Every structure is written in structure tokens, then in C-alpha cells.
Structure 1
Amino acid sequence: MEAGPALELVAPQATARAPAAPSVHSQRLDYLDGWRGLSILAVLAGHFAPLAIYNTGRLGVEMFFVLSGRLMADVLFVERFPLGSFFRRRVARVWPGLFVFVALMAVVFHGPGPLAVQPIDIASSLTFTGNYVRIYLHNMGVLDHTWSLCVEEWGYLVLGLVALSARRFGFNPLLAIAGLAIACVANGMVQSGLGLDYYAVYWRTDVRMGSILMAAAVYLAQRQAGLAWPAWTTAAFGGLALMLSVAVVPDAIKYSLGTLCLSLALVGLDQAPQGLRRLLADPVLTRIGLWSFSLYLWQHPFFRLIGRAPEPLLLAGAVACALASFYLVEQPARRWLNRRWRAPKALSAAA
């Protein structure tokens, strides 16, 4: 991504106290790609090698959400990335691969059956509203997993609106983001208290977006307060997050206290021991992280076919399709769109 002013904070008074950790876009941090790689591996394990007492798939999705919050807080509130460019790049990153995936699923699963793709499934997947179709209408089969993209994309929109307001009116966005995160978490707790199940509560954008907002708030609070906790606390927060992700822990605790611990562990990676960061920066793990969006898209239809073919064969098929999507669709389309959108700016600058 093109970078705005590196390490610039919305709150001028906090600048002098901010830690010296590099901005994620002014200097690429391999250990964050490694975190992304661990996230998708957890999802794959949860689907193709599940454990009875531990749903690693849910943990993997939560790891994706807190990473998104940390990265978007850096891009929008530290670097103050231009909002137009930010949203164009989000479109270039997500839409080509998603559009091709949804179109192919509509063709392959067009007939009758439990996995049939219906017109409303297509429309809701491409407008990032499929989670509510799943909650209020029907199971979306091979497109069910787009619920997490719905949460992420609307989360980016909300953060973008907060950034726009903060830049226009000059307020510190931290309190606004923290307040929205608390509201989302409280919403989930209330609905869980009413006896609704996981899918009816924690697939909702107005609930699960709290995970993204919480991580964004933790990251901004850490920078603005200049906090630098001991290196060992990162592992401690990570361990607590793992303990709170065990199946027997109530969802309301998982996605409040558990998510907070996960956010603290992620944000603390900047001060974590070098050995831990080198482990996360392993080339294989970071490469898997770069493929993570493609892997997430394509693993689900193969997961839905478990029972019709051996799991290793289905997993191999998912990986093959994901790599084809990454190299033949997503990367070329992303480069083309970004070049096309940069061209008018270059002409304007030249003029």
C-alpha cells in the first residue's frame, strides 16, 4: 500500500509518548503475516481435523478479526491513509476473488439439494449481508462462510466513517472506537443471555464487529499512552486467549474477555521476544498468510463435501483451487485495478 505520513497520530498530544514500533505499512512486519498464516491454519484444522473440546476454526476467525482491527487502526488513524485510496484498495483486494468464487459456486451448485446456491445467497454474499440471510432465512451451504467477510467489510466502513469524522472535526477517535466496541460486545452478551445460539448472535455484524473495533481501540490506546509492557506478557495474554477459546467457555466470555486477551497479545507482538517474532516470521508461515484470503474462500465448499470423499483429498482440492485463484485471478486483478486507479492521479500531478 501507498503510505501516508508514517507514525502520525490523530491526537497530536499523544505523538511524543508513542512507542518507536514501526508502522505496519511504512515497514512490512513479517510476524503479522505469520499471525495471518496461523489464523488460516486454525480454520483449516477446525474444518478438516476437528477436536471435540476445542474449536480451532472459531479461534482462527477471531485471530483474523483482531488482526484486521490492528491493521486498519494503523492505516486509518496512525498513517491517516487517504480514505478514497483505502476503500479502492479494499475493493481491489476482496472483490475480484470473491466475485469469481461466488459465480463458480452458483454454476457448480445450481441444482436442487442442501448445498444449492440460491439467487438471494449470491446477492447477499456480494453485498456483505449474507450473515443475516443465514440467521433469518436459511443455511447458505457453500457460501455460509462469507459471514466473516460481511463482518470485516462493514467493520472497515465503520472505521472509515470514524476516521472521516475525526479528521474533519479534530477529535481523538479512540473513545469513539472503544465506545462502539463496548456496545457491540454488550449487544452480544444481552442476546446470549436471552438464550440465542452462537449462529444467531455471533454471526451478526452488529455483534461480532466488536472484535475488530476492540483490537483497533487496544492498538490506538497502546500507541497514544506509550505503553510498553514486559515481553513475557504477550505470551501470557496469548495463553489466556487460548484457554478462553475452549468449547466449554460461554460465547459471551469468548468474545469479550477472550477477544481482549487476543488483542493484547497481538498488539504486544511489537515488544515480544525476538524468538517469538522470528517464529511467526517463518517464510513458510508468512507465505501461507499471503494466501490466507484465497484459502479461506475455497476451503468451505470442500469442507461441506466431507463424508463424500476423504478429508486429505478434499483439503488438497481446496488448496489447489485457492492457489489458482490467488495467482490467476486475485493478484492480476488487484494489480490491474490499482494501476488503473493510480493513473488519473499521476496525470493530474503531471498537469
Structure 2
Amino acid sequence: MTNLQHLADGKTEHVGYLDGWRGLAICALLVGHFFPVPGLNFGTIGVNLFFVLSGLLMGGLLFEKQEPIARFYRRRIARIVPAHLSFILIITLCWFVFDQPISIREFAAAILFLNNYIHPDASTGTGLMPFGHIWSLSVEEHSYIVLSLIAVICRRHLFSQGRGVAVLFAASVACTLVYQWWAPPKLAFTQWLQTETAAYGLLGAALWVAAGRPMPTGLTWRWAAPALLLAGIVLHWWSWPLAVQRILGTGCFIASICMLTVTRGWFAAMLSWVPLRQLGLWSYSLYLWQQPFYLWSHQPHGPSPVLALLLGLVCGLASYYLVERPTRAYLNAHWGAHQAATKLALDRRT
């Protein structure tokens, strides 16, 4: 099966090695949060691995498969929103029950996917509620909207899809360089989380797909993908300027996942390892629920990182099996089913 067929059959999220890539991303993030490695922020690395995967998949859906925009949004909402809303509402209820400070500003920003622009009530980089990680979901949602608008315009033949995404990608690079030059205080917690810079990896992978997946003829070196992945990790070393980490480090992640879809080989087989793939399937709920326990473990009288991680895993799995998977399956099966049946009936009549 070719890469395009992977995308055209509507099952991109369940290609084994891509699920494994997602599992690798959540592992990196959990290590970065609960067992930090000096010199490397594996939390940032994990998020960037998620972003490049999202760009690859969304680019395939919008620019190769040319999925109808209404269906694209329905499926994105079904995947993201139920678990996201339940997390925010449950946490807010717990904060109320245990008489913890509740911020309407932070609550609203997280609900509306705007907290990468609306800073918390507390000082920059902190918050009264454990919603700080929603910034990455905000970046994804904003990117989905912009990429879908580019897809709509391209389908009307106003300009090529490669050119449209290239403009977005170039703007992201420019913003990254400008913000690095500007270097305001606490850059990493302000402009660096905004979509125009943080979506660099997502837009880069989507651009590769929109441009037709260009690859040098005869390039079959199967060590390329893991080598680029390792290089990207090294380029996230703390002493590198943030712009270097973003452009070169995440750029290596873009190249790695693009090479992976072409060369496959032993690295794809490794990523297809069943436990890693399963982690990938759980990753969204795990990502949501690790945050409050990660923050708790850093409190003066908080639990040990091991106990905090276990609690986060338990809550994440509960979210996956009780909220994310059943609601997603129900919405995908029923939302829009009437319109599809009506269209099919009309097609048969004609």
C-alpha cells in the first residue's frame, strides 16, 4: 500500500508506525514532565513530534484525499472536543469542591482554544488552574482552520495548494526569527506558544504533502529517519537559541517523519511495536490528564513523580475508555449520517 493509499482509505490515524510515532511523542513528553533530563526539554520535544505528525495527517486528508471540509471538521471535533471538555469541566468541579482558586479567564481561554494568546491570571508561564498544556491543542485547532481555508481556496483553483501552504510556512519562519531577535522576557512562555511560531512543524509536514511529497530519486537510506530524529533531539539542547531549536530541531523532525513514510524499513517496524502503538492510541487522553498530576508532583508536599505519573495514567485511561473512544465512535457513526444517506439516495435516483 502506498503512502497515498494510507491517506485515501480514511485510516491514517491507525497506520501502525504512525501510531508508534504518536506513542514515542507521548513517552517523550511524560519523561520531560515527570523525569526531566538535564539539558533537554523532552516535553517540548514530545509536543513537536505530535505537531509534525498532525501536519502529515492533515495534509494528507485536505490536499491528497481532499476530504470534504464539513466531514473534516466533524471528525476533528469528534476526536478533540469531548475529551477536552470533560477534562476541563471535571478539573473545574474538583477545584470548586476542594476550594482551590478558579480563574474564569483561564477556564474560558482553555474552553475556546485561546490560551496560547490569553495569558493566565498568575504570572507569565504559570496559572491558577492546570490548563497550561491546552496551548498545544489551540495551535492544532488554529492550524486545522487555516489549512482547511487554504484547501477550500485551492479547490477553487485560485492558486496551488503547495504555494498556499508555503506562504503560511514562510510566515511562520519569519515570525520565529523576528521573535528571537526581539527576545522579550520569558519568550518561551509567550510568543513561542503562539500559533504563528508554534505551528512551524505542523505546517512544514503539511507543506511536504501539499507539494506532492518530493523526495530525491533513489534515496533509500533507511537510517535517514532515525538519524534525523536523533539530530532533532540534539538540536533541542538547552543552550541553542530558541529559533535554532524550532527551525533546525523541529525541521529535523519534519524531515524524519517524511523520510519514514517513504523508506519505512526497520525503524517503521520498531515504531509498529504493539505497546508503543497502544500508547499512541491512548496519547491524547494521557496528554490531557498528565498535566494536573505533573504540576502536583512539583508542589512542596506533592506526591513522588512515580505516583503522580501512575495517577495521571489511570485518569488518562479512564478518559480514553469512558469518554474519548465511545463519544468519538458515536459521533463519527451518527453525525452527518443523515446527510450522507440523503446524498446516496439522490445519487441512486440520478
Name structure 2 gaps, 5 residues minimum: none
Identity of aligned residues (%): 33
Find the aligned partners of 2:165 and 2:59 in 1 and give their Cα distance.
10
**Matched residue, 2:157:** 169
Find the aligned partners of 1:85 and 1:190 in 2 and give their Cα distance.
37
Matched, 1:116 2:101: yes
**Matched residue, 1:14:** none
Pairwise CA distance, 1:345:
2.4
Give the letter for the 1:233 counterpart.
A
Once structures 1 and 2 are overlaid, which stretch shifts more, 119-128 or 151-160?
119-128
Pairwise CA distance, 1:135:
7.0
State the TM-score, normalized to the length of structure 1.
0.89
**Matched residue, 1:23:** 6
Once structures 1 and 2 are overlaid, which stretch shifts more, 35-44 or 264-273?
264-273
Matched, 1:150 2:152: no
Matched, 1:278 2:269: yes
3-state SS of 2:190 partner: helix
**Matched residue, 1:269:** 260
Aligned CA distance change for structure 1 residues 192 and 20 (closer, same or farther; 3 Å): closer
For residues 82-93 of structure 1, what are the structure 2 equivalents within 5 Å?
A: 82-93=68-79
**Matched residue, 1:10:** none
78, 101, 119: which one aligns with 2:87: 101
Give the letter for the 1:59 counterpart.
I
**Matched residue, 1:209:** 199
Pairwise CA distance, 1:126:
1.5
**Matched residue, 2:228:** 237
3-state SS of 1:76 partner: helix
Pairwise CA distance, 1:20:
6.3
Pairwise CA distance, 1:343:
2.4
Asked if structure 1 preserves the Cα contact closer than 8 Å seen for 2:85 and 2:111, the reply is yes
Asked if structure 1 preserves the Cα contact closer than 8 Å seen for 2:130 and 2:292, the reply is yes
Once structures 1 and 2 are overlaid, which stretch shifts more, 23-32 or 51-60?
23-32
Asked if structure 2 preserves the Cα contact closer than 8 Å seen for 1:215 and 1:260, the reply is no
Name structure 1 gaps, 5 residues minimum: 1-6, 8-18
Count the aligned residue pairs. 333
Aligned CA distance change for structure 1 residues 20 and 54 (closer, same or farther; 3 Å): closer
Asked if structure 2 preserves the Cα contact closer than 8 Å seen for 1:99 and 1:126, the reply is yes
**Matched residue, 1:248:** 239
Pairwise CA distance, 1:331:
1.3
Give the letter for the 1:350 counterpart.
A
Asked if structure 2 preserves the Cα contact closer than 8 Å seen for 1:92 and 1:333, the reply is yes
Find the aligned partners of 1:116 and 1:228 in 2 and give their Cα distance.
59
Find the aligned partners of 2:294 and 2:15 in 1 and give their Cα distance.
31
Pairwise CA distance, 1:32:
0.5
For residues 1-351 of structure 1, what are the structure 2 equivalents within 5 Å?
A: 22-26=5-9, 28-110=14-96, 116-134=101-119, 138=123, 139-140=126-127, 141-169=129-157, 171-196=159-184, 197-221=187-211, 223=213, 229-231=219-221, 232-306=223-297, 307=299, 308-348=302-342, 349-350=344-345
Give the letter for the 1:52 counterpart.
P
Asked if structure 1 preserves the Cα contact closer than 8 Å seen for 2:63 and 2:209, the reply is no
Aligned CA distance change for structure 1 residues 346 and 215 (closer, same or farther; 3 Å): closer
Pairwise CA distance, 1:294:
0.2
Pairwise CA distance, 1:202:
1.1
Pairwise CA distance, 1:206:
1.9
Asked if structure 1 preserves the Cα contact closer than 8 Å seen for 2:18 and 2:271, the reply is yes
Find the aligned partners of 2:238 and 2:163 in 1 and give their Cα distance.
32
Asked if structure 2 preserves the Cα contact closer than 8 Å seen for 1:117 and 1:142, the reply is no
3-state SS of 2:303 partner: coil
State the TM-score, normalized to the length of structure 2.
0.89
Once structures 1 and 2 are overlaid, which stretch shifts more, 204-213 or 279-288?
204-213
Give the letter for the 2:6 counterpart.
S
Once structures 1 and 2 are overlaid, which stretch shifts more, 330-339 or 260-269?
330-339
Asked if structure 2 preserves the Cα contact closer than 8 Å seen for 1:31 and 1:280, the reply is yes
Pairwise CA distance, 1:234:
2.0
Pairwise CA distance, 1:39:
0.2
Find the aligned partners of 1:276 and 1:126 in 2 and give their Cα distance.
38
Find the aligned partners of 1:25 and 1:70 in 2 and give their Cα distance.
13
**Matched residue, 1:11:** none
3-state SS of 1:134 partner: coil
Find the aligned partners of 2:204 and 2:340 in 1 and give their Cα distance.
37
Aligned CA distance change for structure 1 residues 221 and 227 (closer, same or farther; 3 Å): farther
Find the aligned partners of 1:320 and 1:112 in 2 and give their Cα distance.
20
3-state SS of 2:249 partner: helix
Find the aligned partners of 1:137 and 1:24 in 2 and give their Cα distance.
43
Once structures 1 and 2 are overlaid, which stretch shifts more, 22-31 or 147-156?
22-31
Once structures 1 and 2 are overlaid, which stretch shifts more, 236-245 or 279-288?
236-245
Pairwise CA distance, 1:201:
2.0
Pairwise CA distance, 1:136:
8.7
Once structures 1 and 2 are overlaid, which stretch shifts more, 129-138 or 30-39?
129-138
Once structures 1 and 2 are overlaid, which stretch shifts more, 294-303 or 20-29?
20-29
